Amino acid sequence: MEKTPAVPIRRPPASAKSEQRIRDILHMARQVFSEAGFQAATTTDIAQRLGVSEATIFTYFGGKRELCVRVIGDWYDEIIAKVEDSLPHVQGARAQLHYLVHAHLRHLLAEGPGLCAFILSEGRARNDDFGEVYAGLQRRYTAPLMRILAQGQADGDIRRDMPLRLLRSTVYGPMEHVLWDAILRGARVDVAATADQLVGFLWQALQPPRQDTLALARFRGEVRDALHRLQASEASDESDEPGAGSANKDGATY
C-alpha cells in the first residue's frame, strides 16, 4: 500500500496521556471543522470545548492547517482501511464498482453534510505546504478504483480506448455532483438507490463499445462516403456536358 507523507506533529507523544490528549483534540477538531468549515473554525473554539488552553493545542500541532490535514488524513485512513478489508471479498468488476460507489457515498454522508463539505473542499487544497500530503491521500483513496479499472481492461470488461485517469474522473465526477447537490439543498440521499442508479449509468459508459454498434457506425460512414463520391461524380459529369457554362461574345465559356 502506498504510504502518504507523514503530517508533522509538533511534539511526539511521550505517554499514554499525551496520546489520549491528541485523540481528544482530533475528535473535537473534526466536530468543529464539520460545523464551521476550515475558515470559520478556530483553535480557540476547539480548546474551549475541550476545557484546555489554546497553548495545549499548539503543544501537539503547529497550527490550524496542520490540524486540518491530520483530521482529513485520519478520515481517509479509516475509510481506506475499511475498503481494503472488504473489497477483496467482492467478485467481478461491476460488483466491485458498485461496492466502491456505495461506500464512497455512505462514508461521506455518514456524519452529516458538514463533514462531507469539509472533506470535499479542504481535501483538494493545493496551495500550501501540505499539498503533497493531500495528493498522497487521494492517490491512496482512489487506488482501489484504479486497480478495478486496470483489471477490467485486462479482462475486456472495461473499455481500453480511454486512459485510466479519465475513467477515474468519469466515476468520481458524478458522485461529487450528487454529494454537493445534497449539501447545498440539504436533501437526504437514499444511498442505496443512488448507488444503483449511478452504477447503472457508469457501467454503460465504462464498457467497451459493442461490436454491432461499431459495425453499424462503420457502415453508415461507408454509405456517407459513397454518397459524397456519387455527388462529386455527377457534378463532374454535368460540367463536362456540351454547351455547359456561359459563352461570351468571343465564344469563350466559363
Residue 247 gets which letter from DSSP?
A: B
Higher pLDDT, 8 or 182: 182
Segment 172-189 mean pLDDT? 92
CA 6/CA 71 separation, integer angstroms: 13
Exposure string of 122-144, with b = 16+ CB inside 10 Å and e = fewer, is bbebeeeebeebbebbeebbbeb
d(CA 18, CA 94): 45
- More confident: 237 or 76: 76
Stated pTM of the model: 0.74
**DSSP string covering 14-41, please?**
-SHHHHHHHHHHHHHHHHHHHHHHHHH-
Predicted confidence at residue 9, as pLDDT, reads: 47
pLDDT class of 212 with cuts at 50, 70, 90: low
DSSP 8-class letter at 203: H
Q: Which residue, chain included where needed, has cell 454535368?
A: 238
pLDDT tens digits for range 93-142: 999 999 999 999 999 998 888 999 998 888 776 656 677 888 888 899 99
CA atoms lying within 13 Å on the CB side of residue 148: 27
Tell me what pLDDT residue 191 has. Answer: 95
Closest Cα partner for 103 from 122, 120, 82?
A: 82
Contact partners, residue 112, CB within 8 Å, separation at least 6: 34
Fold of 69-206: Tetracycline Repressor; domain 2 (1.10.357)
Burial environment of residue 56 by CB neighbours within 10 A (0 to 12, 13 to 18, 19 or more): middle
